[in-house]
């Protein structure tokens, strides 16, 4: 059934795109674009948000309405956004409508990035859909990128996920344990999602596609504004170009800009999941971005880089605690625990045990989230000797890495992909 739904969504985007192009310059083109967007949003809203809406009405008005309780169609958030951006770009005249149905279906459902992104725009791969180049070098580079992503996911994200699970199961939590949990989940979601993005980019490269980068070391950002230029770049730029700027962007009054930012970030939170904690997560970032835009940046107050990093990391960790909570009560309890407002001890023996057990992993996770390792590697291979050695050593290291990852996958069963649910 979900395959039929996907095909129907793609067909309407394909034929609407052709229709919009044939009516270019006329009012009817805009009506067809709006119709296509509404069809896509109605399908997405029905499957992803219907139960959330009904439950919210039920809690607010005490009405007993039937719930659907159906599984979310795989990749619906991503292919819906692909189709919406496509028809808008055709209407704007930024791209030509795709004449080949096969190519349009390939664009909408490219399997490397269908289930967890990044969100690819038609304009970025239109040429590659028609003329792709394949080479052994591309296959090798794509395989290397895929292995890097897989190692991020299996070796780092899954290990941090186990620490998060230990925290949730603990009956002896402390303030320090709450912060360790916040740090572990912040690292888990980064390595989970950036790892998947690396795998998608690597697989795409193997098949001759070049997808844009989705992460640029977000945890070295010195402001929340910069953080969102580095985190899930394809999503934040999508909302900027297809929602924020059409609403007026920065060309409107201050009050209207604030309203626009609140709407855009509420939608960003809602895109991540049909729950109030995701909406509050989006609004949390809206408030921070508004404060930076209209207060912090305007004051031109010089802040040391270390303090800027701490400022961003603390606020981001709090945001992901809210993001990961099962409900608002758990989110508030976790945040209160981080600041010692629940009457718990600062540290316990159990906390020290987990801190010692995971200290090396946490250190590796923190260092690997910076450009240090990449810069060091590039400096080594820049020299003649280093590049010659890398030609021999690198494939051997990649094979060893694959064997280690395989061992982890065979031995363990804890492999949740956090972004698959979105």
Please identify which of the residues 82, 91, 232, 272 carries the catalytic annotation.
272
Are the C-beta atoms of residues 82 and 108 closer than 8 Å to each other? yes
What residue has token string 């600062």?
346
Residue 130 designated active-site: no
Q: Which two tokens stand for residue 271?
A: 């895109």
Task: State how far the Cα of 357 lies from the Cα of 191, in Å rounded to an integer.
Answer: 20
Cα 285 to chain center, whole Å?
15
Length of the chain: 422
Are the C-beta atoms of residues 328 and 149 closer than 8 Å to each other? no
- Find, among 174, 216, 204, 184, the residue nearest to 346 by Cα: 174
Helix or strand (DSSP H, E) at 182: helix 175-206
Task: State how far the Cα of 366 lies from the Cα of 370, in Å rounded to an integer.
Answer: 7
**DSSP category for residue 419:** G
Task: State how far the Cα of 387 lies from the Cα of 397, in Å rounded to an integer.
Answer: 15
What residue spans of 224-275 are helical by DSSP H?
224-230, 233-239, 254-272
Q: How far apart are the first and last CA of the chain?
A: 19
Q: What is the CA radius of gyration of the chain?
A: 23
**DSSP category for residue 213:** P
- Find, among 374, 392, 373, 398, the residue nearest to 143 by Cα: 398
Q: Which residues are catalytic?
A: 272
């Amino acid at each position: 059934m979900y395959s039929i739904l996907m095909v129907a969504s793609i067909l309407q985007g394909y034929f609407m795109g052709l229709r919009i192009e044939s009516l270019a310059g006329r009012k009817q083109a805009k009506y067809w674009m709006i119709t296509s967007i509404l069809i896509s949003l109605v399908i997405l809203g029905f499957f992803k948000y219907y139960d959330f809406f009904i439950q919210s009405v039920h809690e607010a008005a005490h009405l007993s309405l039937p719930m659907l309780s159906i599984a979310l169609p795989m990749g619906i958030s991503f292919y819906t956004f692909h189709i919406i951006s496509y028809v808008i770009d055709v209407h704007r005249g930024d791209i030509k409508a795709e004449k080949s149905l096969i190519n349009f279906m390939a664009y909408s459902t490219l399997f490397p990035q269908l289930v967890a992104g990044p969100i690819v725009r038609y304009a970025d791969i239109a040429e590659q859909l028609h003329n792709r180049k394949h080479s052994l070098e591309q296959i090798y580079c794509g395989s290397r990128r895929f292995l890097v992503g897989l190692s991020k996911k299996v070796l780092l994200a899954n290990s941090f996920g186990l620490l998060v699970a230990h925290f949730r199961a603990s009956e002896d939590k402390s303030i320090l344990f709450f912060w360790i949990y916040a740090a572990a989940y912040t690292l888990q979601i980064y390595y989970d999602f950036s790892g998947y993005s690396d795998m998608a980019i690597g697989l795409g490269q193997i098949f001759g596609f070049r997808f844009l980068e989705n992460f640029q070391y977000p945890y070295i950002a010195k402001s929340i504004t910069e953080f969102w230029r580095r985190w899930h770049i394809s999503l934040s730029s999508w909302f900027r170009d297809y929602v924020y700027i059409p609403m007026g962007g920065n060309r409107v009054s201050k009050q209207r800009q604030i309203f626009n930012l609140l709407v855009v970030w509420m939608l960003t939170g809602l895109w991540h999941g049909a729950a109030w904690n995701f909406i509050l997560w989006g609004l949390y970032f809206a408030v921070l971005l508004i404060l930076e835009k209209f207060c912090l940046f305007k004051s031109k107050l010089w802040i040391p880089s270390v303090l800027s990093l701490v400022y961003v990391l603390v606020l981001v960790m709090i945001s992901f605690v809210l993001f990961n909570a099962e409900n608002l009560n758990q989110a508030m309890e976790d945040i209160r625990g981080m600041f010692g407002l629940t009457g718990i001890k600062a540290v316990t023996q159990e906390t020290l045990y987990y801190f010692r057990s995971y200290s090396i992993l946490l250190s590796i996770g923190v260092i690997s989230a910076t450009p240090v390792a990449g810069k060091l590697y590039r400096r080594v291979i820049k020299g003649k000797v280093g590049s010659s050695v890398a030609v021999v050593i690198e494939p051997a290291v990649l094979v060893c890495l694959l064997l280690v990852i395989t061992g982890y996958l065979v031995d363990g069963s804890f492999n949740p992909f956090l972004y698959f649910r979105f």
